[in-house]
Structure 1
Amino acid sequence: MKPVYIVGAGPGDPELITVKGARLLGEADVVVYAGSLIPPAVLRYVRPEAERHNSATLTRQEIAGILIGAARAGKLAVRLSSGDPSLYGAIAELMADLEAAGVPCEVVPGVSSFLAAAARLKKEFTVPGVSQTLILSRLAGRTPVPEAESLAALARHRASLCLFLSVHLIEEVAAALAAGYPPETPVAVVEKVTWPEERIIHCRLSELPAAVRGAGITRTALVLVGDFLEAAGEPSRLYDPNFSHGYRKRGDA
Protein backbone atom coordinates (compact mmCIF):
# COMPACT_ATOMS: atom_id res chain seq x y z
CA MET A 1 0.00 0.00 0.00
CA LYS A 2 1.32 3.41 -0.97
CA PRO A 3 1.40 6.05 1.76
CA VAL A 4 -0.88 9.06 1.66
CA TYR A 5 1.22 12.20 1.25
CA ILE A 6 0.22 15.35 3.12
CA VAL A 7 1.92 18.10 1.12
CA GLY A 8 2.38 21.76 1.95
CA ALA A 9 1.44 23.85 -1.09
CA GLY A 10 3.29 26.95 0.07
CA PRO A 11 1.78 30.43 0.44
CA GLY A 12 0.25 30.74 -3.03
CA ASP A 13 2.94 31.39 -5.61
CA PRO A 14 3.13 28.08 -7.56
CA GLU A 15 6.91 28.39 -7.70
CA LEU A 16 7.11 28.32 -3.89
CA ILE A 17 5.99 24.72 -3.54
CA THR A 18 8.91 22.39 -2.83
CA VAL A 19 10.44 20.29 -5.58
CA LYS A 20 9.25 17.16 -3.78
CA GLY A 21 5.73 18.53 -3.39
CA ALA A 22 5.50 19.36 -7.10
CA ARG A 23 6.81 15.93 -8.03
CA LEU A 24 4.25 14.16 -5.87
CA LEU A 25 1.43 16.22 -7.36
CA GLY A 26 2.64 15.22 -10.80
CA GLU A 27 2.61 11.54 -9.84
CA ALA A 28 -0.66 11.58 -7.87
CA ASP A 29 -3.72 9.62 -8.92
CA VAL A 30 -5.95 11.42 -6.38
CA VAL A 31 -5.52 14.95 -5.02
CA VAL A 32 -7.63 16.47 -2.24
CA TYR A 33 -6.84 20.18 -2.07
CA ALA A 34 -7.94 23.11 0.10
CA GLY A 35 -9.66 25.07 -2.65
CA SER A 36 -10.49 28.12 -0.57
CA LEU A 37 -6.83 28.60 0.44
CA ILE A 38 -4.80 27.41 -2.56
CA PRO A 39 -4.77 29.36 -5.85
CA PRO A 40 -5.75 27.36 -8.96
CA ALA A 41 -2.27 28.00 -10.41
CA VAL A 42 -0.74 25.58 -7.89
CA LEU A 43 -2.80 22.76 -9.40
CA ARG A 44 -0.91 23.06 -12.68
CA TYR A 45 1.39 20.31 -11.39
CA VAL A 46 -1.51 17.82 -11.23
CA ARG A 47 -1.99 15.51 -14.22
CA PRO A 48 -5.21 16.19 -16.18
CA GLU A 49 -6.33 12.58 -15.69
CA ALA A 50 -5.85 12.66 -11.91
CA GLU A 51 -8.93 12.66 -9.70
CA ARG A 52 -9.38 16.02 -7.93
CA HIS A 53 -11.45 16.88 -4.87
CA ASN A 54 -11.91 20.40 -3.50
CA SER A 55 -12.07 19.99 0.28
CA ALA A 56 -13.76 23.36 0.85
CA THR A 57 -17.15 21.65 1.16
CA LEU A 58 -15.95 18.38 2.73
CA THR A 59 -15.79 17.24 6.36
CA ARG A 60 -12.63 15.72 7.80
CA GLN A 61 -14.26 12.29 7.70
CA GLU A 62 -15.06 12.72 4.01
CA ILE A 63 -11.50 13.82 3.25
CA ALA A 64 -10.10 10.85 5.14
CA GLY A 65 -12.51 8.52 3.37
CA ILE A 66 -11.32 9.63 -0.07
CA LEU A 67 -7.65 9.25 0.88
CA ILE A 68 -8.13 5.88 2.57
CA GLY A 69 -10.13 4.54 -0.37
CA ALA A 70 -7.45 5.66 -2.82
CA ALA A 71 -4.63 4.12 -0.79
CA ARG A 72 -6.45 0.81 -0.43
CA ALA A 73 -6.98 0.78 -4.20
CA GLY A 74 -3.23 1.07 -4.72
CA LYS A 75 -3.38 4.69 -5.86
CA LEU A 76 -1.04 7.52 -4.92
CA ALA A 77 -3.09 10.04 -2.95
CA VAL A 78 -2.06 13.56 -1.95
CA ARG A 79 -3.71 15.82 0.59
CA LEU A 80 -2.62 19.32 -0.50
CA SER A 81 -2.61 21.76 2.41
CA SER A 82 -1.99 25.49 2.25
CA GLY A 83 1.31 26.85 3.51
CA ASP A 84 3.00 24.31 5.76
CA PRO A 85 0.80 21.47 7.09
CA SER A 86 2.18 21.76 10.63
CA LEU A 87 0.65 25.22 11.18
CA TYR A 88 -3.14 25.28 11.64
CA GLY A 89 -3.42 22.42 9.16
CA ALA A 90 -5.53 20.01 11.25
CA ILE A 91 -3.23 17.19 10.14
CA ALA A 92 -3.02 15.57 13.57
CA GLU A 93 -6.65 14.50 13.29
CA LEU A 94 -6.24 13.37 9.68
CA MET A 95 -3.17 11.31 10.50
CA ALA A 96 -5.04 9.69 13.37
CA ASP A 97 -7.82 8.71 10.95
CA LEU A 98 -5.30 7.24 8.51
CA GLU A 99 -3.49 5.35 11.26
CA ALA A 100 -6.75 3.90 12.56
CA ALA A 101 -7.47 2.64 9.05
CA GLY A 102 -4.03 1.08 8.73
CA VAL A 103 -2.95 3.53 6.02
CA PRO A 104 0.60 4.91 6.22
CA CYS A 105 1.26 8.58 5.59
CA GLU A 106 4.13 10.98 5.08
CA VAL A 107 4.25 14.76 5.53
CA VAL A 108 6.06 17.01 3.07
CA PRO A 109 6.70 20.48 4.52
CA GLY A 110 5.88 23.68 2.68
CA VAL A 111 6.85 27.35 2.75
CA SER A 112 4.61 28.97 5.35
CA SER A 113 2.88 32.27 4.67
CA PHE A 114 4.67 33.90 7.62
CA LEU A 115 7.98 33.22 5.88
CA ALA A 116 6.67 34.53 2.58
CA ALA A 117 5.39 37.66 4.32
CA ALA A 118 8.82 38.41 5.78
CA ALA A 119 10.33 37.92 2.34
CA ARG A 120 7.84 40.29 0.69
CA LEU A 121 8.46 42.88 3.40
CA LYS A 122 12.24 42.31 3.16
CA LYS A 123 12.40 42.00 6.93
CA GLU A 124 14.12 39.72 9.43
CA PHE A 125 12.04 38.57 12.39
CA THR A 126 15.12 38.04 14.56
CA VAL A 127 17.04 41.31 14.42
CA PRO A 128 19.99 41.43 16.86
CA GLY A 129 19.39 44.01 19.57
CA VAL A 130 15.68 44.19 18.73
CA SER A 131 14.13 40.73 18.99
CA GLN A 132 15.45 37.19 19.05
CA THR A 133 12.01 35.59 19.44
CA LEU A 134 9.18 35.08 16.98
CA ILE A 135 5.70 34.21 18.23
CA LEU A 136 3.21 32.56 15.87
CA SER A 137 -0.30 32.56 17.25
CA ARG A 138 -3.93 33.47 16.72
CA LEU A 139 -6.74 35.16 18.58
CA ALA A 140 -9.22 32.87 20.28
CA GLY A 141 -12.36 32.40 18.21
CA ARG A 142 -14.41 29.31 17.50
CA THR A 143 -11.16 27.46 18.15
CA PRO A 144 -10.16 28.26 21.75
CA VAL A 145 -6.66 29.27 22.83
CA PRO A 146 -5.15 28.11 26.16
CA GLU A 147 -5.38 30.90 28.75
CA ALA A 148 -1.60 31.00 29.19
CA GLU A 149 -1.33 31.66 25.44
CA SER A 150 -3.86 34.48 25.30
CA LEU A 151 -2.84 37.25 22.93
CA ALA A 152 -2.68 39.76 25.78
CA ALA A 153 -0.27 37.49 27.66
CA LEU A 154 1.90 36.98 24.58
CA ALA A 155 1.92 40.70 23.82
CA ARG A 156 3.69 41.40 27.10
CA HIS A 157 6.83 39.77 25.71
CA ARG A 158 6.95 42.45 22.98
CA ALA A 159 8.65 39.94 20.71
CA SER A 160 8.24 39.77 16.93
CA LEU A 161 4.71 38.45 16.40
CA CYS A 162 2.74 37.00 13.51
CA LEU A 163 -0.98 36.31 13.85
CA PHE A 164 -2.87 33.84 11.70
CA LEU A 165 -6.66 33.50 11.36
CA SER A 166 -7.42 36.68 13.30
CA VAL A 167 -7.86 39.63 10.93
CA HIS A 168 -11.67 39.30 10.96
CA LEU A 169 -11.55 40.15 14.69
CA ILE A 170 -9.20 43.09 14.28
CA GLU A 171 -10.71 45.24 17.05
CA GLU A 172 -10.18 42.44 19.58
CA VAL A 173 -6.69 41.87 18.17
CA ALA A 174 -5.71 45.51 18.66
CA ALA A 175 -7.11 45.61 22.19
CA ALA A 176 -5.20 42.48 23.20
CA LEU A 177 -1.95 43.65 21.62
CA ALA A 178 -2.21 46.94 23.53
CA ALA A 179 -1.67 44.97 26.76
CA GLY A 180 2.02 44.81 25.87
CA TYR A 181 2.93 46.77 22.76
CA PRO A 182 3.00 50.61 22.79
CA PRO A 183 0.51 52.45 20.52
CA GLU A 184 3.31 53.47 18.12
CA THR A 185 4.43 49.88 17.49
CA PRO A 186 4.71 49.22 13.73
CA VAL A 187 2.29 46.74 12.19
CA ALA A 188 2.05 45.19 8.73
CA VAL A 189 -1.06 43.41 7.48
CA VAL A 190 -0.32 41.11 4.54
CA GLU A 191 -3.32 39.80 2.63
CA LYS A 192 -2.98 36.78 0.32
CA VAL A 193 0.79 36.89 0.34
CA THR A 194 2.35 35.92 -3.04
CA TRP A 195 -1.10 35.64 -4.67
CA PRO A 196 -1.72 37.92 -7.71
CA GLU A 197 -4.10 40.00 -5.55
CA GLU A 198 -1.66 40.40 -2.64
CA ARG A 199 -2.00 43.59 -0.57
CA ILE A 200 0.21 45.00 2.18
CA ILE A 201 -0.83 47.67 4.68
CA HIS A 202 1.55 49.44 7.04
CA CYS A 203 0.32 51.30 10.11
CA ARG A 204 0.80 51.82 13.85
CA LEU A 205 -0.90 49.63 16.40
CA SER A 206 -3.18 52.52 17.39
CA GLU A 207 -4.32 52.76 13.75
CA LEU A 208 -4.75 49.05 13.11
CA PRO A 209 -8.55 48.58 13.27
CA ALA A 210 -9.26 51.62 11.12
CA ALA A 211 -6.61 50.65 8.57
CA VAL A 212 -7.91 47.10 8.19
CA ARG A 213 -11.56 48.16 8.04
CA GLY A 214 -10.71 50.87 5.52
CA ALA A 215 -9.02 48.33 3.27
CA GLY A 216 -11.91 45.88 3.58
CA ILE A 217 -9.65 43.02 4.64
CA THR A 218 -11.62 40.28 6.40
CA ARG A 219 -9.77 37.00 5.76
CA THR A 220 -6.64 35.29 4.40
CA ALA A 221 -4.32 37.86 5.95
CA LEU A 222 -1.47 37.86 8.45
CA VAL A 223 -0.94 40.53 11.10
CA LEU A 224 2.76 41.15 11.79
CA VAL A 225 3.67 43.20 14.84
CA GLY A 226 6.92 44.43 16.35
CA ASP A 227 9.90 46.72 16.13
CA PHE A 228 11.60 44.33 13.70
CA LEU A 229 9.50 46.00 11.00
CA GLU A 230 11.46 49.25 11.36
CA ALA A 231 14.42 48.96 13.73
CA ALA A 232 17.87 48.56 12.21
CA GLY A 233 19.20 46.66 15.23
CA GLU A 234 22.84 45.71 15.78
CA PRO A 235 25.25 43.96 13.38
CA SER A 236 25.34 40.19 13.70
CA ARG A 237 28.41 38.99 15.58
CA LEU A 238 28.61 35.93 13.34
CA TYR A 239 30.29 37.98 10.63
CA ASP A 240 32.10 40.46 12.89
CA PRO A 241 35.90 40.28 12.22
CA ASN A 242 36.48 40.58 15.98
CA PHE A 243 34.28 37.58 16.79
CA SER A 244 35.82 34.09 16.73
CA HIS A 245 33.96 30.84 16.12
CA GLY A 246 34.72 27.30 15.02
CA TYR A 247 35.35 28.26 11.39
CA ARG A 248 37.08 31.61 11.78
CA LYS A 249 39.52 33.04 14.26
CA ARG A 250 39.41 36.63 15.38
CA GLY A 251 41.23 38.87 12.93
CA ASP A 252 41.13 36.36 10.00
CA ALA A 253 39.06 38.73 7.87
Structure 2
Amino acid sequence: MVYFVGAGAGDPELLTIKGKRLIDSADVVIYAGSLVNPAVLSDVKSGCKIYDSAGMHLEEVLAVMQETEVQGKTTVRVHTGDASIYGAIREQLDALDRMGIPHEVVPGVSSFLAAAAAMQKEYTLPNVSQTVILTRMEGRTPVPERESIEELAKHRATMILFLSVGRMEELVERLCTSYPKTTPVAVVYKASWPEQKIVTGTLETIAEKVKEAGITKTALVTVGDFLGDTYDLSKLYDKTFTHEFRQGLDG
Protein backbone atom coordinates (compact mmCIF):
# COMPACT_ATOMS: atom_id res chain seq x y z
CA MET A 1 0.00 0.00 0.00
CA VAL A 2 1.15 3.52 -0.80
CA TYR A 3 -0.20 6.44 1.21
CA PHE A 4 0.12 10.01 -0.03
CA VAL A 5 0.14 12.24 3.03
CA GLY A 6 -0.17 16.02 3.09
CA ALA A 7 2.44 17.14 5.62
CA GLY A 8 0.84 20.50 6.28
CA ALA A 9 2.36 23.93 5.83
CA GLY A 10 5.42 23.39 8.04
CA ASP A 11 4.50 23.21 11.70
CA PRO A 12 4.64 19.47 12.53
CA GLU A 13 1.64 19.91 14.83
CA LEU A 14 -0.45 20.73 11.76
CA LEU A 15 -0.15 17.12 10.60
CA THR A 16 -3.48 15.33 10.78
CA ILE A 17 -3.72 12.54 13.34
CA LYS A 18 -4.08 10.05 10.50
CA GLY A 19 -1.13 11.47 8.60
CA LYS A 20 1.16 11.29 11.62
CA ARG A 21 0.07 7.73 12.42
CA LEU A 22 0.88 6.63 8.88
CA ILE A 23 4.25 8.40 8.79
CA ASP A 24 5.28 7.02 12.18
CA SER A 25 4.41 3.44 11.19
CA ALA A 26 5.75 3.47 7.62
CA ASP A 27 8.37 1.06 6.37
CA VAL A 28 9.49 3.52 3.70
CA VAL A 29 9.02 7.29 3.56
CA ILE A 30 9.57 9.34 0.42
CA TYR A 31 9.36 13.05 1.16
CA ALA A 32 9.89 16.31 -0.71
CA GLY A 33 12.97 17.40 1.20
CA SER A 34 13.18 20.82 -0.43
CA LEU A 35 9.80 21.82 1.02
CA VAL A 36 8.68 19.48 3.81
CA ASN A 37 9.83 20.28 7.33
CA PRO A 38 12.01 17.28 8.34
CA ALA A 39 10.54 17.56 11.83
CA VAL A 40 7.42 15.75 10.58
CA LEU A 41 9.62 12.65 10.28
CA SER A 42 11.04 12.87 13.79
CA ASP A 43 9.05 9.90 15.12
CA VAL A 44 9.44 7.36 12.32
CA LYS A 45 9.98 3.83 13.54
CA SER A 46 13.36 2.18 13.78
CA GLY A 47 14.44 0.71 10.46
CA CYS A 48 12.28 3.00 8.34
CA LYS A 49 14.01 3.87 5.06
CA ILE A 50 13.78 7.56 4.18
CA TYR A 51 14.22 8.92 0.66
CA ASP A 52 14.42 12.61 -0.25
CA SER A 53 12.60 13.02 -3.55
CA ALA A 54 14.16 16.45 -4.21
CA GLY A 55 16.92 14.73 -6.18
CA MET A 56 14.81 11.90 -7.65
CA HIS A 57 12.90 11.74 -10.93
CA LEU A 58 9.48 10.13 -11.30
CA GLU A 59 10.75 6.71 -12.38
CA GLU A 60 13.07 6.51 -9.36
CA VAL A 61 10.22 7.37 -6.98
CA LEU A 62 7.97 4.76 -8.58
CA ALA A 63 10.73 2.15 -8.45
CA VAL A 64 11.06 2.59 -4.68
CA MET A 65 7.30 2.24 -4.29
CA GLN A 66 7.20 -0.88 -6.45
CA GLU A 67 10.11 -2.52 -4.62
CA THR A 68 8.48 -1.79 -1.25
CA GLU A 69 5.18 -3.24 -2.44
CA VAL A 70 6.89 -6.43 -3.65
CA GLN A 71 8.33 -6.80 -0.14
CA GLY A 72 4.83 -6.49 1.33
CA LYS A 73 5.70 -3.26 3.11
CA THR A 74 4.09 0.17 3.33
CA THR A 75 5.26 3.34 1.60
CA VAL A 76 4.25 6.81 2.73
CA ARG A 77 4.78 9.54 0.17
CA VAL A 78 4.93 12.85 2.02
CA HIS A 79 4.04 16.05 0.20
CA THR A 80 4.10 19.61 1.50
CA GLY A 81 0.79 21.25 2.42
CA ASP A 82 -1.97 19.34 0.71
CA ALA A 83 -0.90 17.16 -2.18
CA SER A 84 -3.86 18.18 -4.37
CA ILE A 85 -2.42 21.69 -4.90
CA TYR A 86 0.72 21.77 -7.07
CA GLY A 87 1.62 18.36 -5.67
CA ALA A 88 2.15 16.48 -8.96
CA ILE A 89 0.45 13.40 -7.50
CA ARG A 90 -1.86 12.55 -10.41
CA GLU A 91 1.00 11.13 -12.48
CA GLN A 92 2.09 9.01 -9.51
CA LEU A 93 -1.44 7.73 -8.82
CA ASP A 94 -1.99 6.81 -12.47
CA ALA A 95 1.34 4.98 -12.61
CA LEU A 96 0.47 3.02 -9.46
CA ASP A 97 -2.86 2.07 -11.03
CA ARG A 98 -1.03 0.70 -14.04
CA MET A 99 1.21 -1.33 -11.73
CA GLY A 100 -1.76 -2.58 -9.73
CA ILE A 101 -0.49 -1.03 -6.49
CA PRO A 102 -3.25 0.19 -4.12
CA HIS A 103 -3.02 3.73 -2.78
CA GLU A 104 -4.79 6.25 -0.59
CA VAL A 105 -4.53 10.03 -0.30
CA VAL A 106 -4.63 11.71 3.12
CA PRO A 107 -5.30 15.48 3.00
CA GLY A 108 -3.16 18.06 4.73
CA VAL A 109 -3.28 21.72 5.76
CA SER A 110 -2.31 23.78 2.73
CA SER A 111 -0.01 26.76 3.11
CA PHE A 112 -2.77 29.07 1.90
CA LEU A 113 -4.84 28.03 4.93
CA ALA A 114 -1.88 28.41 7.27
CA ALA A 115 -1.29 31.86 5.78
CA ALA A 116 -4.85 32.95 6.58
CA ALA A 117 -4.40 31.67 10.13
CA ALA A 118 -1.09 33.52 10.48
CA MET A 119 -2.68 36.77 9.27
CA GLN A 120 -5.87 36.08 11.24
CA LYS A 121 -7.89 36.95 8.14
CA GLU A 122 -10.94 35.47 6.42
CA TYR A 123 -10.72 35.03 2.66
CA THR A 124 -14.50 35.14 2.14
CA LEU A 125 -15.82 38.29 3.80
CA PRO A 126 -19.54 39.11 3.26
CA ASN A 127 -20.05 41.69 0.50
CA VAL A 128 -16.30 41.83 -0.14
CA SER A 129 -15.41 38.52 -1.79
CA GLN A 130 -17.04 35.12 -1.85
CA THR A 131 -14.54 33.65 -4.31
CA VAL A 132 -10.98 32.49 -3.69
CA ILE A 133 -8.65 32.01 -6.65
CA LEU A 134 -5.59 29.82 -6.14
CA THR A 135 -3.14 30.27 -8.98
CA ARG A 136 0.46 30.90 -10.01
CA MET A 137 2.37 32.79 -12.64
CA GLU A 138 3.69 30.84 -15.58
CA GLY A 139 7.35 29.90 -15.42
CA ARG A 140 9.14 26.86 -16.79
CA THR A 141 5.75 25.19 -16.38
CA PRO A 142 3.16 27.05 -18.49
CA VAL A 143 -0.31 28.22 -17.46
CA PRO A 144 -3.32 27.97 -19.79
CA GLU A 145 -3.88 31.32 -21.55
CA ARG A 146 -7.43 31.55 -20.18
CA GLU A 147 -5.90 31.46 -16.67
CA SER A 148 -3.45 34.30 -17.16
CA ILE A 149 -3.04 36.75 -14.27
CA GLU A 150 -4.76 39.43 -16.35
CA GLU A 151 -7.82 37.24 -16.98
CA LEU A 152 -8.15 36.15 -13.36
CA ALA A 153 -7.62 39.67 -12.07
CA LYS A 154 -10.78 40.80 -13.86
CA HIS A 155 -12.82 39.10 -11.14
CA ARG A 156 -11.15 41.19 -8.40
CA ALA A 157 -11.78 38.26 -6.08
CA THR A 158 -9.51 37.12 -3.26
CA MET A 159 -6.41 35.81 -5.04
CA ILE A 160 -3.63 33.67 -3.60
CA LEU A 161 -0.57 33.15 -5.72
CA PHE A 162 1.85 30.28 -5.24
CA LEU A 163 5.34 30.12 -6.77
CA SER A 164 5.27 33.78 -7.87
CA VAL A 165 6.94 35.91 -5.20
CA GLY A 166 10.26 35.91 -7.07
CA ARG A 167 8.73 38.08 -9.81
CA MET A 168 6.82 40.60 -7.71
CA GLU A 169 7.29 43.63 -9.95
CA GLU A 170 5.91 41.82 -12.97
CA LEU A 171 3.12 40.28 -10.90
CA VAL A 172 2.05 43.68 -9.56
CA GLU A 173 2.02 45.18 -13.04
CA ARG A 174 -0.23 42.41 -14.32
CA LEU A 175 -2.58 42.50 -11.34
CA CYS A 176 -2.98 46.26 -11.75
CA THR A 177 -4.68 45.73 -15.11
CA SER A 178 -7.86 45.22 -13.04
CA TYR A 179 -7.16 45.64 -9.32
CA PRO A 180 -6.73 49.26 -8.12
CA LYS A 181 -3.20 50.13 -7.00
CA THR A 182 -4.61 50.71 -3.53
CA THR A 183 -5.66 47.05 -3.20
CA PRO A 184 -4.11 45.55 -0.05
CA VAL A 185 -1.56 42.76 -0.40
CA ALA A 186 0.10 40.48 2.12
CA VAL A 187 3.05 38.20 1.43
CA VAL A 188 3.42 35.32 3.86
CA TYR A 189 6.83 33.66 3.96
CA LYS A 190 6.94 30.09 5.31
CA ALA A 191 3.54 30.16 6.99
CA SER A 192 3.57 28.25 10.33
CA TRP A 193 7.37 27.73 10.32
CA PRO A 194 9.46 29.29 13.13
CA GLU A 195 10.92 31.72 10.56
CA GLN A 196 7.47 32.82 9.35
CA LYS A 197 7.35 36.41 8.11
CA ILE A 198 4.41 38.56 6.96
CA VAL A 199 4.93 41.62 4.76
CA THR A 200 1.93 43.87 4.09
CA GLY A 201 1.28 46.75 1.76
CA THR A 202 -0.67 47.64 -1.35
CA LEU A 203 -0.12 46.79 -4.98
CA GLU A 204 1.69 50.12 -5.21
CA THR A 205 4.13 49.39 -2.38
CA ILE A 206 4.44 45.62 -1.93
CA ALA A 207 7.16 44.87 -4.49
CA GLU A 208 9.66 47.18 -2.79
CA LYS A 209 8.72 45.89 0.67
CA VAL A 210 9.23 42.26 -0.40
CA LYS A 211 12.59 43.18 -1.91
CA GLU A 212 13.64 44.88 1.33
CA ALA A 213 12.59 41.79 3.28
CA GLY A 214 14.75 39.60 1.05
CA ILE A 215 11.91 37.23 0.19
CA THR A 216 12.45 35.44 -3.13
CA LYS A 217 10.74 32.07 -2.67
CA THR A 218 8.68 29.85 -0.33
CA ALA A 219 6.04 32.54 0.13
CA LEU A 220 2.43 33.14 -0.83
CA VAL A 221 1.15 36.40 -2.29
CA THR A 222 -2.38 37.17 -1.11
CA VAL A 223 -4.34 39.94 -2.82
CA GLY A 224 -7.73 41.48 -2.20
CA ASP A 225 -9.98 43.65 -0.10
CA PHE A 226 -10.42 40.80 2.38
CA LEU A 227 -7.26 42.28 3.92
CA GLY A 228 -9.11 45.53 4.60
CA ASP A 229 -11.39 46.47 7.47
CA THR A 230 -14.66 47.12 5.61
CA TYR A 231 -17.17 44.27 5.37
CA ASP A 232 -20.74 43.30 6.21
CA LEU A 233 -21.59 41.18 9.22
CA SER A 234 -22.58 37.63 8.35
CA LYS A 235 -26.21 36.51 8.23
CA LEU A 236 -25.19 33.33 10.02
CA TYR A 237 -25.08 35.03 13.42
CA ASP A 238 -27.46 37.91 12.70
CA LYS A 239 -30.11 37.85 15.45
CA THR A 240 -32.75 39.08 12.99
CA PHE A 241 -32.03 36.36 10.42
CA THR A 242 -34.00 33.11 10.42
CA HIS A 243 -32.42 29.85 9.29
CA GLU A 244 -32.95 26.14 9.79
CA PHE A 245 -31.64 26.07 13.36
CA ARG A 246 -32.70 29.48 14.68
CA GLN A 247 -35.73 31.77 14.53
CA GLY A 248 -34.80 35.42 14.01
CA LEU A 249 -36.15 38.03 16.38
CA ASP A 250 -38.23 39.56 13.62
CA GLY A 251 -39.29 36.19 12.16
Q: Which TM-score bucket, shorter chain as reference?
A: over 0.9
Matches within 5 A, 1:27-176: 27-176=25-174
Is contact 1:34–1:82 with CA below 8 Å preserved after alignment? yes
Is contact 1:33–1:79 with CA below 8 Å preserved after alignment? yes
Report the CA distance between 1:252 and its aligned residue.
8.7
Is contact 2:24–2:41 with CA below 8 Å preserved after alignment? no
Secondary structure, aligned partner of 2:76: strand
Report the CA distance between 1:79 and its aligned residue.
0.3
Is contact 1:35–1:54 with CA below 8 Å preserved after alignment? yes
Q: Which of 127-136 and 211-220 deviates more?
A: 211-220
Is contact 2:4–2:79 with CA below 8 Å preserved after alignment? yes
| 2:193 match | 195
| 2:245 match | 247
**Whole-angstrom CA distance in 1 between matches of 2:57 and 2:250:** 60
- Counterpart amino acid of residue 106 in structure 1: E
Q: Which of 110-119 and 242-251 deviates more?
A: 242-251
**Whole-angstrom CA distance in 2 between matches of 1:4 and 1:179:** 45
Q: Does 1:7 align with 2:5?
A: yes
Can you give the 5+ residue segments of structure 1 that lack an aligned partner in the other structure? none
Question: Cα deviation per residue 1:87-106 (whole Å; 9 max; x = unaligned)?
Answer: 00000011111111111110
Q: Hey, which bits of structure 1, 4+ residues long, moved more than 2 A?
A: none
Q: Does 1:232 align with 2:215?
A: no
**Whole-angstrom CA distance in 1 between matches of 2:248 and 2:194:** 47
**Whole-angstrom CA distance in 1 between matches of 2:193 and 2:46:** 23
- Percent of matched pairs sharing the same residue: 52
Is contact 1:29–1:75 with CA below 8 Å preserved after alignment? yes
Root-mean-square deviation (CA, aligned residues, Å) is: 1.3
**Whole-angstrom CA distance in 2 between matches of 1:223 and 1:45:** 33
**Whole-angstrom CA distance in 1 between matches of 2:250 and 2:114:** 35
Secondary structure, aligned partner of 2:146: helix
Q: Which of 65-74 and 127-136 deviates more?
A: 65-74
Structure 1 pair 106/252, CA: closer, same or farther in 2 (3 Å)? farther
Can you give the 5+ residue segments of structure 2 that lack an aligned partner in the other structure? none
Report the CA distance between 1:208 and its aligned residue.
2.1
| 1:21 match | 19
Calculate the TM-score normalised by the size of structure 1: 0.96
Calculate the TM-score normalised by the size of structure 2: 0.97
**Whole-angstrom CA distance in 2 between matches of 1:16 and 1:232:** 31
**Whole-angstrom CA distance in 2 between matches of 1:91 and 1:234:** 39
Secondary structure, aligned partner of 1:237: coil
**Whole-angstrom CA distance in 2 between matches of 1:75 and 1:5:** 12
**Whole-angstrom CA distance in 2 between matches of 1:163 and 1:90:** 17
**Whole-angstrom CA distance in 2 between matches of 1:56 and 1:145:** 23
**Whole-angstrom CA distance in 2 between matches of 1:64 and 1:213:** 39
**Whole-angstrom CA distance in 1 between matches of 2:175 and 2:163:** 15
Aligned residues: 251
